[in-house]
Chains A and B, each alone.
Chain A
Amino acid sequence: GDSVTQMEGPVTLSEEAFLTINCTYTATGYPSLFWYVQYPGEGLQLLLKATKADDKGSNKGFEATYRKETTSFHLEKGSVQVSDSAVYFCALSRPGAQKLVFGQGTRLTINP
């Protein structure tokens, strides 16, 4: 079945460091790919998405590129801030399917 694997956390970085959170997936066909973020005390919210191969999703300085050849959707940010501390979830949905399949989440802590 479909699955998403994220790099294990927790990840701790200093402010202004470069961030990469790896995400790979297994799915039939061409799924849509998503990154969701959960800030402390808040619900999950969509960070960015990409719906076809080579698409790049971006938002709030974060980027992720849909790589069909490596079945990956790694999340990157050039310079992280303390306010980026949260749990990040990679997810997919298959064409015609309505449900999201999530990875296990990566907790990110940014120290000042």
Chain B
Amino acid sequence: DTGVSQDPRHKITKRGQNVTFRCDPISEHNRLYWYRQTLGQGPEFLTYFQNEAQLEKSRLLSDRFSAERPKGSFSTLEIQRTEQGDSAMYLCASSLMEGSGSPLHFGNGTRLTVT
């Protein structure tokens, strides 16, 4: 169990640029989640996948955000035309499909700074 891996750890970009983050979940986990965390707040749910299917998206996920999990393994989160308000820590988590009590295993996150 190597844990959930996220890349990059930090990303600084200029407003208007596109950015893409990658998440590699724990290998046997079929559920994958993206959360966003701003300073002093708890993580906020963005979207989740069961295998390759994206089953739920938060209203926080504007049209500029898109997430994929093409083969049910790793996932990417892309933000187009970044805005300063997108600056946050983007967290990925994975879990086994065991019902709502399944614990989530989080990665260390990608910290995005939009200048």
Interface of A with B (CB < 8 Å)?
4, 31-32, 34, 36, 41-46, 49, 51, 89, 91, 93-105
Interface of B with A (CB < 8 Å)?
3-4, 31, 33, 40-45, 48, 50, 55-56, 58, 91, 93, 99-101, 103-109
21 cross-chain CB contacts under 8 A: A32-B101, A34-B103, A36-B106, A42-B108, A43-B91, A43-B106, A44-B93, A44-B106, A45-B105, A49-B101, A49-B103, A93-B100, A95-B99, A96-B100, A98-B48, A99-B33, A99-B45, A99-B56, A99-B58, A100-B104, A101-B45
Inter-subunit contact A100/B45 (CB<8 Å)? yes
Interface of chain A: mostly helix, strand, loop or mixed: loop
A90 to chain B, nearest CB (A): 8
Interface of chain B: mostly helix, strand, loop or mixed: loop
